[in-house]
Amino acid sequence: MEKKNINKKGGGTRTAAGANGKTAATKKPGKTGATGIIKKTDTTARPRRTGKTGPTGIIRETTGKIGLSEDGLGKGVAISKVETAGKKVDGKERVAAKGLKNPKAAGNGTHGKGGKRLPVILVTNDDGISAPGIRNLVEAVRGLGKIVVVAPDKPQSGMGHAITIGNPLRLQPMHHVFEGVEAWSCSGTPVDCVKLAVDKVLRRKPDLCLSGINHGANHSINVIYSGTMSAAVEASIESIPAVGFSLLDYSVEADFGPARKYVRMIVEEVLANPLDKHLILNVNFPAVPDNLIKGIKICRQAYAKYEEDFVERNDPNSRKYYWLTGKFVNFDRGRDTDVWALEHNYVSVVPVQFDMTNYVLKSKLEKTWKS
């Protein structure tokens, strides 16, 4: 009969007598507990604990990796915020603690001729990284700075300012999509794209964030629902000036040619004359030929809304489901609104902000409400 002798003082070995009477020493996998029995410890690799202790006293754990599938076999690039420049990750050299060197974007560096630092321009959208609108946006601003694209891997229209909190986010390199431009697809929302770009992809905070060009209008109340504009708003929250661009044409075959000229004109103006780190411009283009566009008009947001209609249908199991439809109704006839400008073939530019305080009402309440 085999006998086991456990060292109660944790002397470092555990012996087992076999049939031949000899003993074999094995390494102790854990510490001796109060009962004298050695506690087993998990020797597999664990995530680095980088989070802060929460109210429960439990440290939140993060792996410090992005772009990997759950089984670790994905094609994404694993990067850690604590790694330093010069180290290699999956065979790729780190540029800095928050970026990866992209061989295809070697000519798109942060310094131009004469050593002058080029502005870093973050580009995103809500129609997805393969949408024609974002390709036209990149081409419109090519040469104005170092362009880095981080955009959703699928359409995310109407997501507003949604963020992903219940699922992991993944980044995949998509450098082949835009020639000579570093590009990443993100599994999350447009706002997730901006957050990940600032925290994980970019070496430093960008000088400007551009979102679009959206397929469809984002004038008036659309700014509330728009993933395109929410990405721009998120950038502004991070003190990054931002511009959202939209074309009043939902077709995949929409002609972005006329819009590209005005995109470049507006971006050049914003870069040359920075007004405010919290700048957000909502720019919409009429879907007309270039010769019919009358120019740029600075506007206010029109008061309008959608009158929704939910179409009711039945599935094969006779269970009801609904499709959202409706029509856009403008209640504002002012000649200084974005709706009026677009109806009269102007490019509308509306300055917006994330501070939603109603200062006029605040002043009235301070005078009429008693504490």
The DSSP 8-state label assigned to residue 111 in this structure reads: B
Q: Are 336 and 353 in contact (CB under 8 A)?
A: no
Is 214 part of any known ligand binding site? yes
Residue 119, exposed/middle/buried by CB under 10 A (0-12, 13-18, 19+)? middle
Per-residue pLDDT, 370: 75
CB neighbours (10 Å) of residue 13?
14
Where the chain has pLDDT below 50, the residues are: 1-108
CB neighbours (10 Å) of residue 127?
24
Per-residue pLDDT, 116: 76
Provide the edge-to-edge strand list for the sheet that holds 346-351. Answer: 171-173, 182-186, 146-152, 120-124, 208-215, 242-247, 280-285, 346-351, 295-298
3-state secondary structure (DSSP) of residue 339: helix
In CATH terms, the fold of domain 102-302+333-351 is Stationary-phase Survival Protein Sure Homolog; Chain: A, (3.40.1210)
Per-residue pLDDT, 111: 59
**How far apart are the C-alpha atoms of 110 and 106, rounded to whole Å?**
10
CB neighbours (10 Å) of residue 323?
9
Q: Are 198 and 186 in contact (CB under 8 A)?
A: no
Q: Look up residue 103 and give its two tokens.
A: 């061989």
Closest CA to 208 of 113, 140, 114, 124: 124
Per-residue pLDDT, 89: 35
Per-residue pLDDT, 21: 43
Strand 23-27 relative to strand 13-17: parallel, antiparallel, unpaired?
A: antiparallel
Is 358 part of any known ligand binding site? no
Per-residue pLDDT, 114: 64
Q: pTM higher than 0.95, yes or no? A: no
Per-residue pLDDT, 274: 87
Domain ranges of the chain: 102-302+333-351
Q: Look up residue 316 and give its two tokens.
A: 């094969």
Backbone angles phi, psi at 123, to 5 degrees: -120, 135
**How far apart are the C-alpha atoms of 56 and 51, rounded to whole Å?**
13
Per-residue pLDDT, 252: 80
Q: Are 212 and 244 in contact (CB under 8 A)?
A: yes
3-state secondary structure (DSSP) of residue 228: helix
The DSSP 8-state label assigned to residue 125 in this structure reads: -
**How far apart are the C-alpha atoms of 246 and 126, rounded to whole Å?**
11
Per-residue pLDDT, 115: 66
